[in-house]
Amino acid sequence: MSTLAVFITHLPGWILWTGIFLPVTTLLLLIITALIYKLQQVEKDLSVARDPGVTASQLCHGRRYRSRRTAGHTTHT
């Protein structure tokens, strides 16, 4: 048997639980929570906009670029 396998077999269960399983599970839950939060922010931004395509392009490229639909067109009142 390898040294790592022998070490793990002699390790108490509580060390495996608190030293390996619990931190990894906590990290995964924090990553999932952060992704859910970001998704809710994006959905909120898209729900406010009249045209979600324009908002998506502004989020991706910033406000310095205009969308292709409005570029070069003037609005008549």
- Candidate from 1-5, 52-56, 57-61 with smallest mean pLDDT: 52-56
- 75: confidence class by pLDDT, cuts 50, 70, 90: low
Provide DSSP, 27-73.
Answer: HHHHHHHHHHHHHHHHHHHHHH-SSHHHHHHHHHH-TTSPPTTTTT-
Beta carbons within 8 Å of 45's beta carbon, 6+ residues apart: 55, 59
The model carries a pTM of 0.53
> What is the per-residue pLDDT across 8-58, written as a single tens digit (0 to 9) for each?
888 888 887 888 889 999 999 999 999 999 999 988 887 877 776 666 677
Cβ neighbours for 53, distance < 8 A, ≥ 6 positions apart:
67, 69
